[in-house]
Structures are given as C-alpha cells and as structure tokens.
C-alpha cells in the first residue's frame, strides 16, 4: 500500500491542476450563477403558484363556483320561504283554500258555471318533401 502512495499523490496533483481553472472560473462567476439560480427558482415558483394544483387559476375557478352556489342557495331559500308562506296561507286563510279548490279541483259555488277550455290539438308533423330511400 505504501508503494502506491506516490502514484496517488501524483494523480491527485494532476487532478487539482485540471480542476483549478474551472474552480477559479466558477469563483469569479459566482454572483452571476447565483443570480441565474435565483431567477430560475423564482420562475418555477411563479409557475407553481399560478398553474399548480392549488394555483391562482384553480382558485379563481373555485371562487366563481362558490359564488354561483351562494346565489343558488339564496334562490332556494327564497323559494322555500315562498312555499312556507303558501302553506301557512292554505292552513289558515279561507280565501286561499277556496282559490286552490276552484283552480285545481274545478269546484264551483251553487249557481256558478266552470268554463273548461278545449284541449289543444296536437300539431301535425311537418311535411317532408324529401325522397325516401
């Protein structure tokens, strides 16, 4: 093992001579390399923030979906309130009960006539003037 020590030292010295210019060049350009590395990292971070799984694009889509669902919830609540008022009116108001009975069940008071319009005729299919195959 001791016999190979001079060869190992010579190999290390030749390697140092070949690497030293590169190390000197990297040392001189260290600020530029660091600036480029930071710019690349900032670019990658920007891409991730904008287009990533929870990026701004997805956030805006989710926000518009949330707003449309909020509007729908408000509409459904208003519709429920209307139905609640209708039900309450049918439970307590005699005129509302009579109105529904007249409209849906076609009830009439004695001496009144109920007019029922004739059923609408089904429209004829359009004439097809093309040749049959």
Q: Which of 93, 112, 92 is nearest to 102 (CA)?
A: 112
Find out whether 72 and 82 touch, Cβ atoms under 8 Å: no
pLDDT in tens, 11-51: 888 888 888 888 888 888 999 999 999 999 999 999 988 88
Q: How many domains does the chain have?
A: 2
The model's confidence at residue 8, banded by pLDDT at 50, 70 and 90, is confident
Distance CA 18, CA 25 (A): 12
- Same-domain pairing of 61 and 96: yes
Please tell me what DSSP assigns to residue 114: -
- Same-domain pairing of 58 and 24: no
Find out whether 83 and 89 touch, Cβ atoms under 8 Å: no
Q: Would 43 be classed as within a structural domain? A: yes
- Same-domain pairing of 71 and 86: yes
Given a cut of 90, whether residue 2 has pLDDT beyond it is: no
Q: Count of CB atoms within 10 A of residue 49's CB? A: 13
- Same-domain pairing of 78 and 36: no
pTM, full prediction: 0.47
Q: Would 133 be classed as within a structural domain? A: no
- The pLDDT assigned to 130 comes to 67
pLDDT in tens, 60-117: 999 999 999 999 999 999 999 999 998 998 898 888 888 888 888 878 888 888 777 7
Domain hosting 100: range is 54-107
Q: Would 114 be classed as within a structural domain? A: no
């Amino acid at each position: 093992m001791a016999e190979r020590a001079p060869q190992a030292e010579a190999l290390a010295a030749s390697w140092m001579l070949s690497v030293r210019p590169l190390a000197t060049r990297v040392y001189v350009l260290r600020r530029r390399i660091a600036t480029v590395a930071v710019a690349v990292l900032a670019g990658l971070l920007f891409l991730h923030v904008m287009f990533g799984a929870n990026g701004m694009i997805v956030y805006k889509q989710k926000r518009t979906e949330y707003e449309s669902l909020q509007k729908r919830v408000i509409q459904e609540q208003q519709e429920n309130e209307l139905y609640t008022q209708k039900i309450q009116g049918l439970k307590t108001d005699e005129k509302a009960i009579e109105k529904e009975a007249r409209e849906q069940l076609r009830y009439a008071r004695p001496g009144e006539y109920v007019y029922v319009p004739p059923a609408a005729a089904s429209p004829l299919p359009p004439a097809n003037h093309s040749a049959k195959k």
